[in-house]
Every structure is written in C-alpha cells, then in structure tokens.
Amino acid sequence: MNTDYFRIETGADGVALLELNRPERLNTMAPPFFPALRDAVQAMNAQGQVRCLVIASTGRHFSAGMALEVFAGGMAMLDTSSARSRLAFQDGLRRLMRCFDALEEARFPVIAAVQGGCIGGALDLAAACDIRVCSADAFFTLQEIHIGMAADLGILQRLPKIVAPGIAREMAYTGERLGAERALAVGLVNAVLADAEATRAHALKLAAAIAAKSPLAIAGSKMALNYAVDHPTAEALDQMTLLQSAIFDLGEMERAIAAWKAKEPGRFEALGALPPL
C-alpha cells in the first residue's frame, strides 16, 4: 500500500512496516496524513493478519511534525471567530486525535523506530505507540510551544504516563530537545541504536519476536495494559478477570508450551478478520 505520505509492506511472519516516505519534506504531516494513517491501521486491524506493526521513516528525520504552512494556510478548521466555528474546531480536533487513537486500539502492538528529529505531531504519534526505539542522533521535542500553542494531539495526555510528570512538564513548557541517551534514561525509548539502519533492524527483530507469540495472548496483554494505565488497580483486576475468561484457550497454550520447549517459533492462527458492520 502506498499513499502520498507513507508506504506499507507486510511480511509472511505478520510483521508490517509502515514507512514515512517524504524525506524531502522532512516527513512533515498535513491534514490528509491523519485519516490516511487511521484508515491504514484500522484496515490492518480489521483484516486480522498483522501481528506487529513497525512505524519507521526515511531521510534525516523521523518527522518534523505538522507542516507550518498548515497553520498559515487559512484552513477552515482553524477558524475560531464565532461560537459555531469554535464548536466545529472542537469536533475537527477530536477527529484528528482519534487518528492516533487507532494505534492504541489496534489488536497488535506498534513499535516506533525513530531517527533524527521526532518533532511536534511526530511525538504525538510516537507516544501513541506501544514501544519506541531510536538512533543515537535522535531527539524528541514538543515543538508547539515555540509557535505559541499547546500541543493538542495527545502528547500532553500520554507523555506523563510514559515518563516522570516533571520530565513531561519540562518538555511541554520549554520545548527543549530531549536527546537519545536522556530519552533512554527517562524511559521514553527502550533502546538506542547506532544509526537509522540499526534502529530499524532492531525494531523489526523485536516485532518478529512479538509476532512469534500467540496473537491472542498478545492482544489480551495489550488490552489489559492499556486499561490499567487509566484505571485503579482494583478496577483493572476486575477487567482482567473478564478479559481472561474471554481469551483463555488451552489449545493455544499447548502450542505455545510445545514451541517454547522446542525453542522454535510457535505456529498460531492469526486473529482473523473482524466481522463486517
């Protein structure tokens, strides 16, 4: 699959690679990018064959975020001159937010492989992923504060649940760059690799390891982890009892145990397609 903003490849092992492919524009985002990303991720989720998704990029930077010309171009969505237009603004913004929600809602994990700059809206995207890895030259910044606006696509809500709240606030208030080593130290990324090629290879290797596990157990684990982030432990435990009763499968466990003992990849059925609406 190819769009003006990214291309997608899916391997036989169930690992999909979504590659941002506008390096000449620093992989900046424009309004059509968001529904294109949402639709692509939701399609993968609906088809039920992808077991892990890696989001990578091309060129010097992962992404410079929203293209500045979007703010200067007189977009109808940005009109806040009346009560009606402000109400429409709210609706439009929430629709943009939901495009990144698709990454969290997918039944498979998503890994961001970041090289160079992960700026503004790109950090919103990365924060919505399950795991982030980066190259030694990577940096992360909430660029929005430099142009006189609060970041509004989810980073202010997700970042304090990934790193210490004080780190999130420092990034939000100053817009200073968080380099790769500090990003690793504060828990924003799981690993720092030598360069973009090594980062992508590491992300794909991690994705392959995830794809070799029971997709039923992986999906259940993601649902439990996501729920636990925003709910008290007691409520999350109640959710886990219901979730486990829905996904517990002795046949799946037998296959997993046999593969584990044999030190071989497990052979598990894909989750399969969602029923049509």
Are 243 and 180 found together in one domain?
no
The alpha carbon dihedral of 17, 140, 221, 230 has a sign of: negative
pLDDT above 70: residue 206: yes
pLDDT in tens, 227-259: 999 999 999 999 999 999 999 999 999 999 999
The alpha carbon dihedral of 32, 34, 40, 43 has a sign of: negative
pLDDT above 60: residue 101: yes
pLDDT in tens, 209-231: 999 999 999 999 999 999 999 99
What average pLDDT does range 197-203 have in this prediction? 98
Are 195 and 219 found together in one domain?
no
pLDDT above 70: residue 267: yes
pLDDT above 90: residue 69: no
pLDDT above 90: residue 103: yes
The confidence band for 71, taking pLDDT boundaries of 50, 70 and 90, is confident
Q: Tell me, what's the pLDDT at 77?
A: 76
Are 221 and 205 found together in one domain?
no
Residue finishing a domain among 190, 211, 232:
211
Are 116 and 43 found together in one domain?
yes
Q: Tell me, what's the pLDDT at 74?
A: 54
pLDDT above 90: residue 265: no
Q: Tell me, what's the pLDDT at 70?
A: 80
The confidence band for 115, taking pLDDT boundaries of 50, 70 and 90, is very high
Average pLDDT, the chain: 95
pLDDT above 90: residue 137: yes
What average pLDDT does range 115-119 have in this prediction? 98
The confidence band for 75, taking pLDDT boundaries of 50, 70 and 90, is low
What average pLDDT does range 118-126 have in this prediction? 98
What average pLDDT does range 34-50 have in this prediction? 97
Q: What's the CATH code of the domain at 168?
A: 3.90.226.10
Are 206 and 228 found together in one domain?
no
Is residue 247 a contact partner of residue 217, using CB atoms and an 8 Å limit?
Answer: yes
> What is the C-alpha to C-alpha distance for residues 214 and 276, in angstroms, rounded to an integer?
24
pLDDT above 90: residue 266: no
> What is the C-alpha to C-alpha distance for residues 240 and 122, in angstroms, rounded to an integer?
32
pLDDT above 70: residue 76: no
Q: Tell me, what's the pLDDT at 189?
A: 98
pLDDT above 80: residue 73: no
Residue 226's domain comprises: 215-262
* Unique residue bearing structure tokens 């030694």: 136
Are 122 and 234 found together in one domain?
no
Are 95 and 228 found together in one domain?
no
In a domain? residue 271: no
In a domain? residue 176: yes
Are 206 and 219 found together in one domain?
no
